[in-house]
Amino acid sequence: MDNRVFLSELEEDFLGELFNMGVGKSANALSQMLGQTIEMTVPDIEVLPIHDFNLQQSQYFPLCCVSQQVSGAFDAVSMLVFPHNTSLNVVAMMMGEQLPAEALIELQEEAMSEMGNVVLNACMGDISNVIGDSIFLELPTYRLAISDLLIDEHEAKGDVVIHMNIKLIISSSKESGSLLLILDPRALPKLKVVLNNYINAYS
């Protein structure tokens, strides 16, 4: 855990509330795609050195990850992440039919990219509506992380990440994935303006 203070307790609470509302939309979108009830956990917000974040995530490798760059009101990376085997089961649910493992692997990148696009856009679109400001998303990028890093420590703009995580749990199988929002502390001034405008509007 990093000891530097990046957000006040109130700002962190409101950030978690915003993220929770956005992920609620994502859960609904995912539920419609899979024909399954989706449960959500309470948002978990941590400030971590990038190395520790990568180490934390590596225990779940291999990971199927769909990420999108977020810009506009604030800058971040949003990610939809599933363990590899879970992602294949999710693809099977999307297809709505029994398919051999080889076929699921062939469909995995396209299906997960489509799912990530819908789910991440639902989340960020709802946050944009709540804060009344524009959020822009780049096209989704799919990656199967086997032994490499979710965040490249050499390309990162800072030495820590503000990591928000909500688990999306498929009620019928109890398999889960995570929706992550990775914030670069160097982009915090923009985020603080957004959060404090939101806090003032609702206080």
pLDDT tens-place string over residues 34-64: 999 999 998 888 878 888 888 888 887 888 9
pLDDT at position 198 over 90 = no
Euclidean distance between CA atoms 23 and 9, whole angstroms: 21
- Cα 181 from Cα 165, distance rounded (Å): 7
Assigned superfamily of 9-202? CheC-like (3.40.1550.10)
Residue 3 has pLDDT above 60, yes or no: no
Question: How many angstroms separate the CA atoms of 110 and 105, rounded?
Answer: 10
Tens-digit pLDDT profile for residues 126-138? 999 988 899 999 9
pTM: 0.85
Compute the mean pLDDT over every residue in the chain, rounded to the nearest whole number.
86
Would you list the DSSP string of the chain?
Answer: ---S--S-HHHHHHHHHHHHHHHHHHHHHHHHHHTS-EEEPPPEEEEEEHHHHHHHHHTT-SEEEEEEEEEESS-EEEEEEEEHHHHHHHHHHHHTS---HHHHHHHHHHHHHHHHHHHHHHHHHHHHHHHTS-EEEPPPEEEEESSS-SS-TTT-SSSEEEEEEEEEEETTT--EEEEEEEE-GGGHHHHHHHHHHHHHHH-
